[in-house]
Structure 1
Amino acid sequence: MDWKSTFSFFGLNGFLRISFLVLILVVFSNCRQSQKRTICLQPFSDFSASDTKKIQAELQKVYSDVKILQPIDFPKDSWNAAKTRHRADSIIRFLDRRTSENQLTIGLTHKDISTTKGKFKDWGVMGLGFCPGKSCVASSFRLHEKNKFEQLFKVAIHELGHTEGLPHCPEKTCFMRDAKGKNHKDEEKDFCASCKRKLIASGWNLK
């Protein structure tokens, strides 16, 4: 039914009421998208309090509202078949159930994590985040020891970007750069202007 048919069917008053309702729904949707987020750091039992505070300090240079949760054990169903790695997708689903609205949770670990990538059923990764979603996970296992925490921060902020719906970015210095199986973290400096605009529109109070 086109707008002329709708107008004829409902009359002027009915048509105006429907138009007003649609406007309210659009405004409400935009308000929800722009609500302020709290980033929750969820350390797993292998990740110390001092290590968590280092990541919090780095994230707060970019985003002010970052809180630390009490450490927890890995979910029992997160092991891969060989019990050599924890499955990142299982961890994310576990964290997602514990995450409230207007919160983003990122799991932190030094253990190896993996996911399925194409023909590889157990591909080791630095981090993973559903795009979009409410939770993600970052691991230091595959990072350079020399500047491990700086790189882990960049993995964390990258995955948090995915949770807000950001795709990979072609800018080589942007936090959302696609790793493509390699570690380019030392080349990443900040979110690019385009990615910043999208995050701000989603409710990020970026510094």
Structure 2
Amino acid sequence: MRHILLLSLSLLVLGSCGLLPNSQPVLVIQPFRGFSARLTDSVSQQVRRLYPLVLQRQPVALPKQAFYASRQRYRADSLLHFLVSQHQSDTVVVGLTQLDISTTKNGVRDWGIMGLSYCPGRACVISSFRLKRRNLSTQFYKVVLHEIGHTEGLPHCATRTCFMRDAEGGNPIDEETGFCRTCTWYLQLRGWKLAS
């Protein structure tokens, strides 16, 4: 009886700290027009193995208001706002594009990036523009997991082989091998099917 009480109290504390979801949101894979259908299907299938509540949507047009004409690329923060506005509150939307995206970072108004997400939040957007062509599918999948991890509340990780590593303006993705033990534990609590 004492064991059950302690377990119940532990779950209550974790829940009140936001570490356990009340109900798992649906992940919506939302490609923008022009993005590879093959890569969309591949990402959807791979993510579904780790997180079963995944829906794949038909491509939509990039919103004109997100286009940054002077640099010929799209503002990722505007894309996040658009994605959230198009979907229900019980979803996390994963936007996919092949076009260049940017955000304001480190005092730079228009910093080119591979992805951006609300942390925690309901949307992320990933671009294949800055990834290596020779292993695009693998690199893209790792960036998708990184950004979804942020939507779950994970910060950047100091472990160099972890998917949650900060790219720091480069592309160290080939060095990443999986989520580290701490990030894995956190995502398992959130309902992810990850091996320890």
TM-score for both structures, normalised by structure 1: 0.80
Q: Partner amino acid for 1:60?
A: R
| Offset, 1:31 | 9.5
* 1:124 has 2:112 as partner: yes
Matched AA of 1:62: L
Q: 1:27 to 1:119 in 2, by over 3 A?
A: closer
Which sits farther off after the overlay, 128-137 or 97-106? Answer: 97-106
In the alignment, structure 1 residue 109 sits paired with structure 2 residue 102:
no
Shift of 1:62: 2.8
Within 5 Å, give how 1:1-207 maps onto structure 2: 33-82=21-70, 84-206=72-194
Moved more, 100-109 or 170-179: 100-109
Q: CA deviation at 1:198?
A: 1.6
CA pair 34-194 structure 1, distance change in 2 beyond 3 A:
farther
Higher-Rg structure is 1
Q: Deviations over 1:148-201 (max 9, x none)?
A: 011011111100111111000011111101110111111111111211222222
State the partner residue of 1:6: none
Deviation readout 1:77-135 (Å, 9 max, x if unpaired): 10114150000000001111223233211100110000011221111100001111100
2:120 is paired with a residue whose SS is: coil
CA distance in 1, matches of 2:15, 2:152: 18
> How many correspondences in the alignment?
183
Moved segments of 4+, more than 3 Å:
25-32, 203-207
Q: Distance in 2 between matches of 1:28 and 1:121?
A: 38
Using structure 2 for the length normalisation, give the TM-score: 0.84
Deviations 1:3-54 (A, max 9, x none): xxxxxxxxxxxxxxxxxxxxxx979856972422321110000113222102
Partner-residue secondary structure (3-state), 2:68: coil
Identical amino acids, percent of aligned pairs: 45
CA distance in 2, matches of 1:95, 1:107: 7
Structure 1 residues 161 and 31: alpha-carbon distance in aligned structure 2, compared to 1, 3 A threshold? closer
CA distance in 2, matches of 1:67, 1:123: 30
Greater helix share, structure number = 1
Aligned residues: CA RMSD: 2.2
Cα shift readout 1:52-74 (whole Å, capped 9, x = no counterpart) = 10211232343333221111001
Structure 2 CA distance for aligned equivalents of residues 101 and 123 of structure 1: 29
Q: Distance in 2 between matches of 1:132 and 1:143?
A: 25
The answer on whether the counterparts of 1:126 and 1:143 sit within 8 Å (CA) in structure 2 is yes
